[in-house]
Structure 1
Amino acid sequence: MTMVGAAPAATLVKDRAADRPPARRGNAMSYGFVSVYAVLALAFGLLPALYACYLAFTDGEGRFAGSANFSKVVGDFRFWPAVRHVALYLVCWLVALVVLVTLLAVIVHTIRVRWLSRTLRSVFYLPGALAGASSVLLWLFVLDPTASPVGGLLRLLGFDSFVQVIAPGNLPVIFAVVAFWTGAGAWIVIMYGALNNISADVIEAARVDGANVVQIAWRIQLPMLRKWISYMCIMSLAAGTQLFVEPQLLSQASNAVVPNDYSLNQLAYQYAFQQNDFNAAAAISLLLLVVALALSAVFVTRGGLFERD
């Protein structure tokens, strides 16, 4: 008797679920995904940031210290050289990304041979499969003229030893090359996808008007990629300010030819784990955050990232 009564009830529930608008079911799923992200962002993003703020404005005993920790790190003789190193690296890397990634994406998108376009995208993307530490270890051999497959080129440039190649003056360019090699492929694929979203009618109309490939790229494709370029700059800026793995491994491999306080993250590491001063390390992290947010705001406003077309 109970099972007979339950069957119509189950059928009624299924009918109601079928009658539910698809948009409402999609919204429920969207809220589910967003809630998971929100919990993770809160646990591993916001709460650690708030704790860093607490450390930066207190002393080792938890008492309010005002700007004492910031004054300490800014007055450290290692701070401004580290700022200069990271700034030079960011300039080299961001310029290389904006120019070369955009250029390569446009070139790959222009290729009409499908298998060749796919092959190039795969080749560009493959280096990104290596973790940061693995790519640096690989580049340790590439930068050694005695073991490198391009040792002849390095000797032609005047470098006869590994120590000469990794001289501190060369490091911003070297780190930019390593970062570009590992990260540019993914951005080329992203830019390629953005180029596919440009209406074919617009491109065809430009061709009918007599525009060549260079004019189409300069007048149509690049302006329509502006938001994507801004997004790339923001994400790359956030990653670039965290420079740590590359100089740290080079410092260990070169017997301190590369200093262990070359970057700001390394200096924060020295404060935290060599000097046991987590408050000063937190102050450095907050300074990095403020600078990164300010520069990101410039990219957002100049790139029109949140403007509606």
Structure 2
Amino acid sequence: MTSAMSVRSAADGEQTAAGRTASAKTVSRGAVPSATAGHSKRIARAGKRGPSAVPYFFVGPFVVAFVVFILVPLGMAIWDSLFAVKRSGLGFGGGGREARFVGLNNYIEALHNQAFMSGFGRMLLFGVVQVPVMLGLSLLFALLIDSSLVRFKKTAQVMVFLPYAVPSVVAALLWGFLYQPGVSPIVKGLKAIGVNADFLAPGTVLWSAANITTWVYVGVNMVIIFSSLQSIPHDLYEAARIDGASEFRIAWSIKIPMVLPSLLVTLFMSIVGTIQLFNEPTVLRSITANVSSDFTPMMSVLNTTMTMKNQNMGSAMSIIVAVVAFVLSALVALAQRRKKD
């Protein structure tokens, strides 16, 4: 009887093992594919619902603002520039005003406007001198703060950046006080040592405005360049020092080439700012007669539109300024792309 029970127990064990093997095969062959199939069905259902609206929710405000504040005014300016107002009567209440389509006549007249084109000449001269000086100072300050020569780096950054916190109009007012011969401590100090300086003379007032712009914007450009310097691996500096390179050689051969993309970004912003030069000469115009109402292209646009009440001509001038800004910006962007390639 004992042997019979042992035989039966062995048989039951074999059946149990066979059942476990079969269930394992079922799981390996059926359960996993069914789970994978269910996951695929969920992905398919999610794909049928279409793309999520979340990205459009974040991009939407920018698109609306761009259309309302950029494209619509630009389209209106282009439309107004194609017309001219013709007045009839003697201007004593009789007659009227009629807008007539003139095509490109406003653009042709604007390009033949001596005051408007002289403003472009001053703007180009301003940019050719002021932009390189400003970017050179920004690069110099960034390299000095990044080097081991400056101990209190955070304090130095704040001191250089602080003028940017002053609005450009307020900065122009402050420097205008320092330029006036009667009250300027700078003029009085130079006169005490035998130097007669007139910062508001016809030949120097443009560079007085350039000094204000440089003083305001050196700091923000320095921060951009300094941030780019912080992203350079310090292993390159250590390897150069092991090879015997001096700090000047490291700055010239490693740091400056590595921050060229940031320099191109600051150059792009500086060119756009030069084309839009308005605040500094407008403030200086209130303290000197050597700054005319058409001193810069933007001042000429305002004078034509508001003082001369010629909105159509002002629109044509603004479009010309926008085209010049676009061309110069495109040249800088093309140079940046070639540098990356």
**Do the two structures share a fold, i.e. TM-score over 0.5?**
yes
- Of 91, 98, 122, the residue aligned with 2:128 is 91
* Residues 130 and 214, structure 2, Cα contact 8 Å, conserved in 1: yes
1:49 lines up with 2:74 in the alignment: yes
Q: Secondary structure at the match of 1:124?
A: helix
Equivalent of residue 114 in structure 2, options 77, 84, 87: 77
Which residue matches 1:103?
A: 140
1:173 aligns with 207
The answer to whether the 8 Å contact 2:305/2:314 transfers is: yes
Q: 1:47 to 1:197 in 2, by over 3 A?
A: same
Contact 1:145–1:159 (CA under 8 A) maintained in structure 2? no
Q: CA deviation at 1:265?
A: 0.9
- 1:230 aligned residue: 264
Answer yes or no: is 1:125 the counterpart of 2:161: yes
Is this contact kept in 1: 2:134–2:217, CA < 8 A? Answer: no
Bigger-Rg structure (1/2): 2
Q: Report the secondary structure of 1:147's partner residue.
A: coil
RMSD: 2.4
- Aligned ranges 1:162-241 → 2 under 5 Å: 164-241=198-275
Aligned to 2:279: 245
> Which structure would you say has the larger RCO, counting Cα contacts within 8 Å and 6 or more residues apart?
1
State the SS of the aligned residue for 1:169: coil
Q: Deviations over 1:205-262 (max 9, x none)?
A: 22222211111111111111111111111111111111112111211222x3321211
The CA deviation string for residues 6-50 of structure 1, in whole angstroms up to 9 with x for no partner, is xxxxxxxxxxxxxxxxxxxxx987654433222222221222112
User: CA 1:126–1:32 in 2, change beyond 3 Å: closer, same or farther?
Assistant: farther
Distance 1:180 1:232 in 2: 13
Residues 83 and 100 in structure 2, CA contact (< 8 A), matched pair in contact too: yes
Q: Any gaps of 5 or more consecutive residues in structure 2? A: 1-51, 86-97
- The answer on 1:272 being equivalent to 2:305 is yes
The Cα offsets for residues 113-159 of structure 1, whole Å up to 9 and x where unpaired, read as 66x11111101111111111111110011112432332345435843
Percent identity between the two aligned chains:
28
What amino acid maps onto 2:110 in structure 1? V
Query: 1:28–1:122: structure 2 CA closer, same or farther, 3 Å change rule?
Result: farther
Whole-Å separation in 1 of the counterparts to 2:213 and 2:194 = 21
In 1, the alpha carbon distance for the partners of 2:207 and 2:109 equals 30
**Which of 277, 287, 292 pairs up with 2:320?**
287
Closer, same or farther in 2 for the Cα pair 1:151/1:305, shift >3 Å?
Answer: farther
Distance 1:75 1:113 in 2: 53
- Correspondence for 1:59 among 60, 79, 84: 84
1:261·1:270 contact (CA, 8 Å) conserved in 2? yes
**Of 298, 303, 309, which residue of structure 1 is paired with 2:336?**
303
Out of 166-175 and 195-204, give the one that drifted further: 166-175
Distance in 2 of aligned mates of 1:29 and 1:210: 55
Mapped pair 1:149 → 2:149: no
Q: How far apart, CA to CA, are the structure 2 residues paired with 1:225 and 1:96?
A: 17
Check 1:103–1:113 CA distance in 2 against 1; reply closer, same or farther (3 A cut): closer
**Gaps spanning 5+ residues in structure 1: where?**
1-26
Q: TM-score, normalised by structure 1?
A: 0.82
Contact residue 234 and residue 299 of structure 1 kept, 8 A: yes
Q: Against the structure 1 CA distance between its residues 231 and 153, is the aligned structure 2 distance closer, same or farther, given a 3 Å change threshold? A: farther
In structure 2, the residue corresponding to 1:198 is in which secondary structure? coil
> Taking structure 1 as reference, are residues 159 and 71 closer, same or farther at Cα in structure 2, changes over 3 Å only?
farther
Aligned positions, number: 278
Secondary structure at 1:59 match in 2: strand
- 1:111–1:117 contact (8 Å) kept in structure 2: no
In 1: Cα distance, 2:178 partner to 2:338 partner? 38
